[in-house]
Structure 1
Amino acid sequence: KVTYAGITVRTGMVAKNDGSWNTTFVVPSSTKGGHTVDASGSTTTASDVADVTFTVSPGLSVEPTSGYVGDEIEVNGSGFATNESGIKITLDGVVVKSSITADAEGYWETSFTLPTCVTGAHAIDSYGNMTIATDVSDTTLTVLAQIVLSPKSGNVGDNIRVKGTGFSGEKDLTVSYDLVTVVTGLSTDADGNFSTSFEAPKGKSGEINVTAMDTKGVTVSAIFTMETTPPDIPRAASPKDGSTVGFIGDTKVTFDWTDVSDQSGVHYALEVSPQFDFGITLV
């Protein structure tokens, strides 16, 4: 069997005829520094085997490894000192979480809310009262761009607000609606944020792509749903259905239909024909 710091981590190995064998094991949660790896068998005692020292260095892991501004990011630390306190997490050198304490095995876990920052890779590091940042193996978190629409559905003429995060810093940016540019002359701030608005133009109904693109090529889309309910069908108000007029002489007939309205400005085109197939139209 193989032991790590006195704990059995692998069993069941059988030596070859020449007495050699090999195996692997997962390093258990450990404090930073050296830990003894030993082995023994049915005819070989641990004291007969020359010890090997395995050195644990502090490190971090994040989940997820990519995300949007405002996401909750989980961070696990291992290999810190026993019960080490005062541990902090930094994002590109700026503290985003503090007052963390490791357990007896030098392990800790916590989370932080991803603050506003530009698109791309960002360094996650950590340090504590007994562990310096340069001793900790850094990890990387990738920030993704996104846009949020408000409202997400509506009618022609509605004011659509667009808020973007995670874009390139201080770059010109355009917003398009169904591939037609509706906002220009806009720039992101130093942290890749922007905010703007536009009126929903006339066009097709249903799901419409609203797209923001900065001059470094960062492009993100979101869906605006244009209402799809047609206006009510106008009904003949005068003359009444089935009524007759003009048996003798010239009679002027006035046609009138009920009024209908639509929030998006959709209207009907009226045609009048004496033929059911509208081969000839009078109006």
Structure 2
Amino acid sequence: MRLKIFLRTLPIMLITALLGIGALAAPVGAAGTITQTITPTSGSPAITQVSIAGTGFAPGAYTILFNATVVNSGTIPAGGALNVTFVVPALPKGAYAVTVDDSSADPAVAAGTFTVNQTILTSVANAPIGATVTVNGYGFNPNVAVNVYFGALTTPVAQVTSLENTNGSFSKQFLVPQAPRANYFITATDAFTTPASANILFAVTPRITAISAETGGVGDTVTINGDGFTALGSVSFFFDSDTTTALTTVTANASGIIPATTITIPTAARGVHTIIVRDNTATAISVTRLYTINVSKITVSPTSGQVGTSVTISGNGFNSGGVIDFEFDGAAFTGVTSITAAANGTFTKTAVIIPTTSAGAHTITARVTSDPTVFANATFTVNSRIVITPTTGTAGTTVTITGSGFSPAGVMSFTYDATPLASSPATPTIQANGTFSAQVVIPGAAAATHTIYAVDGMGNVATASFISTITATLTPLTNTLEPGFVGQEITAAGTGFMPNSTVTIRLGNTPMGSVVANATGTFSIKFKIDAIPAGAYVIFISDGTTTKQFDYIMEGNAPAAPTLVTPARDAKAEQPVVFDWNDVSDPSGVTYTLEVALDSSFTKLALKKDGLTSSKYTMTEAEKLETVPKKAPYYWRVIARDGAGNVGAAGSAFTFTVGFSLEDIPMWAWITGGFFVVVIVGGLLYYFTRRRSMY
């Protein structure tokens, strides 16, 4: 079975083998076949890539001809297959034949026709205003002028002469004109009867046209100008990678130009940084400019003060993480330790004490330890200062003055307000570090706060306040437990009053005396208390400028009631009546009031004598009393009153009578008289009775 099949197929196999041998023996010049026509069939020179494929070509060298221009060449491999590409050459606008010529003697094989169209290319797809852009044109009509337009087809930005447009190709440069950020067509049109025209999109990008400074320090201001931004669009300025917090934002005008914008360099470390100007209409579009912080800065707060002032030193623009040391007038700052700058190049050093030094401007320096060339200075002005001990006292007090911050070349002098002061030593020495020490004696002056001035004659002045006090005493002092009394002698003394002034003493508004103080305001005076009512008073001691006052308490104890002597109780007094009573004692002195009345309530006074200074009073003839009976006697009493007006209580009143009255006849006299009256009356009756009987 298998043999039959083999015998049947054998003739076919032999025929196939013979055909194969015939093909190998075929002549080399056999024509090839294009299996794929050129693709594409139209396009632009320099940018369009064309593909050709075919079979049956003679192995060996080949060339691809575009019109008469070789655009590709190589070797066809065994088998005669062809598969190549080429770029359309620079030729004028038109249709051109494309052929394949292999190594055989046969004519070239036509691959097809390719139509060349005009096109333009730019050296860059986008650029800022003022940038130089090269435009290349291909496939135009040859040897004619070409105009290149930017945007509107009005005024060309470039013109190509006919001599420059050879073979329909040209290359020309132009400057991007003033325009806001946008996409614009660049158009090239030749001057042929039937013009060839081509365009390409071109984007205007923003630019910084000017920057006032590219180096400086933190806090410096930089002015930036720019254009090419979106018309009437928002434009923000940023520093480094922080594009969320704008330094400032402005609005571009209709031409895309931003106004001259000033920004302040934010806090950042020493080194190169980036200023970013962003078109907010298209946030991905921005322009940058490098800015180098190469200036370190420090500030001192406060900027002036006295020796010993605590200051804070703040710095910026230093090396990130740099170690900072401090100097005062070029020397290491005593007692001030180093500090490490933060990542942003800043630091703050507090509690830095200004050392003892002379008056004037001094330099504080912050310097990077690892790089001494990186430093910054600030000026601190040392003001003069004095300290006085004590700060209060009276005239004649010795005060020690110590000073700092003065000029070693100066000569010290002192005044007390406007009064020159003698000092010890007479000419205090100002040390090289601006210090001195001296003593002065406080002169007499009003009790108040006064100013001591220290002047070195070099324009440096310092002041200190001295509180001048007045010391005054009153001896003895009185109070409610130990009050004063009329006639009491008081001593007033004082120091620190106005020199050579008249010091007056007043009890209330009543002058009590005066005395002249000496050159240091010291005085002493004695005076007596006048008769005044009991109560509280104020004694004033004054030199006309300063007044001291003291409370004065006048005693309020009433004197005792006087003890009556004569006329004795129920006595019959002889006219003129002599009244006598015992003396009453009182520190303020005593006067008496004698009252004689017809009633025990003393509402019907027969006699009243006030202000009696003696404990005895004899009535005058004019004051003679009328005779009264015992049943209606006179009443008398005495009331004591002291110099302070304190009135004592009246003691028990005595009664007395004066003159003759029937009540003065004793009983025996009345009996005897009655007897004689009876006898006489009886005798007369007897006589008249007898006589009548006789008649």
TM > 0.5 between the two? yes
How far 1:259 sits from its partner (Å)?
Answer: 4.0
Q: Which amino acid aligns with 1:144?
A: N
Mind listing any 5+ residue stretches in structure 2 that lack a counterpart?
1-235, 478-483, 497-520, 531-695
| Greater RCO (CA < 8 Å, at least 6 residues apart) | 1
Alignment of 1:1-283 (within 5 A): 1-8=236-243, 9-10=246-247, 12-22=249-259, 23-44=261-282, 49=287, 51-56=288-293, 57-85=295-323, 87-96=324-333, 97-111=336-350, 112-133=352-373, 135-178=374-417, 179-183=419-423, 184-232=426-474, 242=486, 257-262=489-494, 264=496, 266-269=522-525
Does the aligned pair in 1 maintain the 2:300–2:314 contact within 8 Å?
yes
In structure 1, C-alpha distance between the alignment counterparts of 2:303 and 2:264, rounded to whole Å: 22
How far 1:167 sits from its partner (Å)?
Answer: 0.8
In structure 1, C-alpha distance between the alignment counterparts of 2:486 and 2:249, rounded to whole Å: 98
Residues paired across the two proteins, number? 255
How far 1:232 sits from its partner (Å)?
Answer: 2.6
How far 1:241 sits from its partner (Å)?
Answer: 5.3
In structure 2, C-alpha distance between the alignment counterparts of 1:125 and 1:163, rounded to whole Å: 29
Mind listing any 5+ residue stretches in structure 1 that lack a counterpart?
244-255, 275-283
Change (3 A) 1:180 1:269: farther
Q: Which amino acid aligns with 1:92?
A: D
In structure 2, C-alpha distance between the alignment counterparts of 1:141 and 1:20, rounded to whole Å: 45
How far 1:137 sits from its partner (Å)?
Answer: 3.8
How far 1:159 sits from its partner (Å)?
Answer: 2.4
Residue 230 of structure 1 aligns to a residue whose secondary structure is strand
In structure 2, C-alpha distance between the alignment counterparts of 1:46 and 1:169, rounded to whole Å: 66
The residue aligned with 1:251 is none
How far 1:28 sits from its partner (Å)?
Answer: 2.2
Change (3 A) 1:211 1:21: same
Q: Which amino acid aligns with 1:205?
A: A
Does the aligned pair in 2 maintain the 1:125–1:138 contact within 8 Å?
yes
Change (3 A) 1:137 1:21: farther
Change (3 A) 1:266 1:231: farther
In structure 1, C-alpha distance between the alignment counterparts of 2:389 and 2:331, rounded to whole Å: 31
Q: Deviations over 1:132-185 (max 9, x none)?
A: 25x434221111111111221112332211111111124321222232222121
In structure 1, C-alpha distance between the alignment counterparts of 2:411 and 2:486, rounded to whole Å: 65
How far 1:70 sits from its partner (Å)?
Answer: 0.5
Change (3 A) 1:6 1:241: closer
Q: Which amino acid aligns with 2:367?
A: Y
Structure 1, 96-105 or 8-17: larger mean CA deviation: 8-17
Q: Which amino acid aligns with 2:277?
A: A
Q: Which amino acid aligns with 1:147?
A: I
Task: Give aligned-pair identity as a percent.
Answer: 26
Residue 267 of structure 2 aligns to a residue whose secondary structure is coil
In structure 2, C-alpha distance between the alignment counterparts of 1:48 and 1:211, rounded to whole Å: 65
In structure 1, C-alpha distance between the alignment counterparts of 2:470 and 2:416, rounded to whole Å: 17
How far 1:186 sits from its partner (Å)?
Answer: 1.0
How far 1:46 sits from its partner (Å)?
Answer: 5.7
Query: Which protein is richer in helix relative to its size?
Result: 2
Residue 17 of structure 1 aligns to a residue whose secondary structure is coil
- Which of the pair has more CA radius of gyration? 2
In structure 2, C-alpha distance between the alignment counterparts of 1:213 and 1:40, rounded to whole Å: 61
Residue 262 of structure 2 aligns to a residue whose secondary structure is coil
Q: Deviations over 1:84-118 (max 9, x none)?
A: 12x11111112222321111111100131001111
Q: Which amino acid aligns with 1:117?
A: T
Does the aligned pair in 1 maintain the 2:394–2:470 contact within 8 Å?
no
Q: Which amino acid aligns with 1:197?
A: Q
Change (3 A) 1:203 1:5: same
In structure 1, C-alpha distance between the alignment counterparts of 2:314 and 2:247, rounded to whole Å: 25
TM-score of the two chains, using structure 1 as the length reference: 0.79
Structure 1, 148-157 or 61-70: larger mean CA deviation: 148-157
Does the aligned pair in 2 maintain the 1:170–1:189 contact within 8 Å?
no
Q: Deviations over 1:246-274 (max 9, x none)?
A: xxxxxxxxxx83445445463245689x9
How far 1:242 sits from its partner (Å)?
Answer: 5.0
Q: Which amino acid aligns with 1:115?
A: P
Structure 1, 142-151 or 11-20: larger mean CA deviation: 11-20
Does the aligned pair in 2 maintain the 1:38–1:46 contact within 8 Å?
no
In structure 1, C-alpha distance between the alignment counterparts of 2:275 and 2:525, rounded to whole Å: 87
Structure 1, 174-183 or 70-79: larger mean CA deviation: 174-183
Does the aligned pair in 2 maintain the 1:3–1:39 contact within 8 Å?
yes
